[in-house]
DNA sequence: TCACAGTGTAAACACGTGTTCACCCGGAGG
DNA sequence: CCTCCGGGTGAACACGTGTTTACACTGTGA
């Protein structure tokens, strides 16, 4: 019990510096840069985390824990799956988390996979309640529909980052707030009114493969 | 006129090897790996392209040219923006291009930006025609709606890659074909029927910001 | 006071990278 | 014949990387 607070203090300082640098520069960021941000040497990082890969894993866990903690607190108003990010995008202190999560999405990290799985399962519950309450139409496959609504947010972010012609690390809270604001109108319009003037295309498609045509259909939704 | 065919032969061999390796391993792929794939030395790559960055640029241009050439030929049936990819995903010979394009999307390359801009402008035309013909409902902002429909394809791809728990380079034509097939039903359903059972949410939102509320609204659609 | 464990550092190591340099080979031109 | 020149190579260079090692400082316990 000597003085573990001091030790764990620099440890979390390294960890937060790593989250920030990974988010700004990508996961190729060097240990020396992270160490410099934390005000220590690269060897200290190794002492505390053993390896860069291990540091990356602990960053993933840390980000997931922080987001999860915030989520359970701000659960009430989230409905479309994107509103959480919308709220978070407005807050300066969440920018490192946003950047890190986006990096993880683009690099294929555990943070993105776990976060996405968790958010989708929650959204599935919300949607089921919405359908039961009569606010939402039922779907032929609720899980695929949830994945589709998430696609909108994710694809919108990717396109916006691409159009910005800047690196992910340079984008600030204003950018994300504007990005999500801009998405709201067309998304609500599509959700409320659809796109096709009639149902012929859908009906033709459903006829083409009458529900499941004997093949693997709905039980293997992903993977 | 000595024998430039032979020379330009190894040049394009290097270029195609680079497109393939960049697509499989990302843009961090080493020149030596690319050179080995092309059956030459790393120095030869430098002789032909000057630098790795220059090679990357020429790969971008090459991929754009090939896709563009194929697009203008298969223009007639493309409508949703994803159908092009759907077709391409089925063909083995386009796998390197798919992988490269996807890498460019995730890394923020010029290929993705240009390709996206081009495809969206085409989609805008198609949509205008669809609206005029009465097949599609008009939108409050056609450009944002186009961006939204593209979001669905892009976000769906990102989520599918993420769920695969494999690196982008290991995914084959079957994966992409299944991915797009799976997307078709929920997309058509959403396009045909919408999501909300009534229009109250949309109307509340449109009321909240009565068209443009005096702020920057529709003229700055991106960037 | 001494020994010790914890915390951190500077220097070195081993390796992979993009790039350059000196050189070779083969065929066209004098 | 020799010369030259484009296409190509292997070895080296300079550098940045993750990791390891030997060493300092600091405060606590006996």
A196 in helix, strand or coil? Answer: strand
pTM (predicted TM-score) = 0.85
Report chain B residues whose CB lies below 8 A from the CB of A156: 147-148, 151, 155
Q: Is B194 on the interface with A (CB under 8 A)?
A: yes
**For B155-170, what is the mean pLDDT?**
93
> Confidence band (pLDDT; 50, 70, 90) for B3?
very low
CA of B42 to C1' of D3 (A): 29
Higher pLDDT, A216 or B150: B150
pLDDT of residue A191: 95
Higher pLDDT, A31 or A181: A31
b vs e for A142-169, b when ≥16 Cβ sit within 10 Å of the residue's Cβ? bbbbbbbbbbbbbbbbbbbbbbbeeebb
Q: Is B43 on the interface with A (CB under 8 A)?
A: no
- Asked if pLDDT for residue A217 goes beyond 50, the answer is no
Q: What is the pLDDT of residues B99-130, one digit of tens each?
A: 999 999 999 988 899 989 988 998 899 899 99
Q: Is B218 on the interface with A (CB under 8 A)?
A: no
Q: Tokens representing B23?
A: 């697509």
Q: What is the pLDDT of residues A82-103, one digit of tens each?
A: 555 666 666 788 899 989 999 9
Q: How many residues does chain B have?
A: 223
A158 and B105 Cβ atoms separated by less than 8 Å: yes
CA of B30 to C1' of C15 (A): 14
pLDDT of residue A223: 34
User: Which single residue has its CA nearest the C1' atom of nucleotide C11?
Assistant: A43
A25 and A65 Cβ atoms separated by less than 8 Å: no
B63 and B111 Cβ atoms separated by less than 8 Å: yes
pLDDT of residue B90: 62
Report chain B residues whose CB lies below 8 A from the CB of A205: 184-185, 188
| Euclidean distance between CA atoms B194 and B205, whole angstroms | 17
Q: A46: Cβ under 7 Å from strand D? A: yes
From the candidates B189, B199, B220, B222, which should be mutated to test the interface with A, based on the most A CB atoms within 10 A?
Answer: B189
Query: With pLDDT > 90 as the criterion, what percentage of chain B qualifies?
Result: 59
Cross-chain residue pair A199–B192, CB shorter than 8 Å: yes
Whose tokens are 């700004």? That residue is A24
Please measure the distance between the N-terminal and C-terminal CA atoms of chain A and give it in whole angstroms.
Answer: 47
CA–C1' nearest nucleotide, residue A28 = D17
Could you tell me which chain A residue has the CA closest to the CA of B109? Answer: A162
Cross-chain residue pair A201–B192, CB shorter than 8 Å: yes
**For A109-130, what is the mean pLDDT?**
90
- The contacts found for B37-43 with CB under 8 angstroms, 24 or more apart, are B38/B10, B38/B13, B38/B14, B39/B13, B40/B10, B40/B13, B40/B14
pLDDT of residue B93: 80
Q: What are phi and psi of A136, to 5 degrees?
A: -115, 150
pLDDT of residue B88: 61
> Which DSSP string do the residues of chain B spell out, in sequence order?
--SHHHHHHHHHHHHHHHHHHHHHH-TT--HHHHHHHHTS-HHHHHHHHSSHHHHHHHHHHHHHHHHHHHHHHS-TT--SSSHHHHHHHT-GGGHHHHHHHHHHHHHT-HHHHHHHHHHHHHHHHHHHHHHHHTSB---S-HHHHHHHHHHHHHHHHHHHHHHHTS-GGG--HHHHHHHHHHHHHHHHHHHHH-SBSSSHHHHHHHHHTTSS-SSS-SS----
Q: What is the pLDDT of residues A1-59, one digit of tens each?
A: 333 344 568 999 999 999 999 999 999 999 999 999 999 999 999 999 999 999 999 99
pLDDT of residue A87: 66
Q: What is the pLDDT of residues B14-52, one digit of tens each?
A: 999 999 999 999 999 999 999 999 999 999 999 999 999
pLDDT of residue A10: 93
Q: What is the pLDDT of residues B50-99, one digit of tens each?
A: 999 999 999 999 999 998 887 766 554 444 445 556 666 667 788 899 89
Q: Is A205 on the interface with B (CB under 8 A)?
A: yes
Higher pLDDT, A207 or A222: A207
């Amino acid at each position: 019990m000597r003085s573990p607070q001091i030790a764990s203090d620099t440890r979390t300082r390294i960890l937060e510096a790593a989250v920030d640098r990974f988010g700004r520069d990508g996961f190729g960021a060097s240990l020396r840069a992270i160490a410099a941000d934390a005000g220590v040497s690269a060897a200290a990082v190794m002492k505390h985390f053993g390896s860069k890969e291990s540091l990356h894993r602990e960053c993933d866990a840390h980000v997931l824990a922080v987001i999860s903690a915030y989520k359970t607190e701000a659960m009430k108003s989230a409905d479309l799956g994107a509103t959480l990010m919308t709220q978070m995008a407005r807050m300066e202190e969440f920018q490192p988390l946003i950047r890190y999560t986006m990096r993880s999405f683009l690099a294929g990290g555990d943070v993105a996979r776990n976060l996405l799985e968790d958010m989708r399962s929650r959204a599935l519950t919300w949607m089921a309640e919405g359908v039961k309450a009569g606010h939402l139409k039922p779907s032929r496959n609720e899980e695929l529909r949830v994945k589709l609504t998430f696609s909108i947010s994710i694809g919108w972010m990717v396109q916006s980052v691409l159009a910005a012609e800047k690196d992910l690390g340079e984008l600030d809270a204003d950018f994300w707030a504007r990005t999500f604001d801009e998405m709201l109108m067309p998304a609500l319009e599509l959700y409320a009114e659809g796109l096709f003037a009639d149902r012929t295309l859908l009906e033709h498609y459903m006829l083409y493969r009458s529900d499941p045509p004997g093949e693997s259909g709905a039980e293997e939704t992903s993977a």
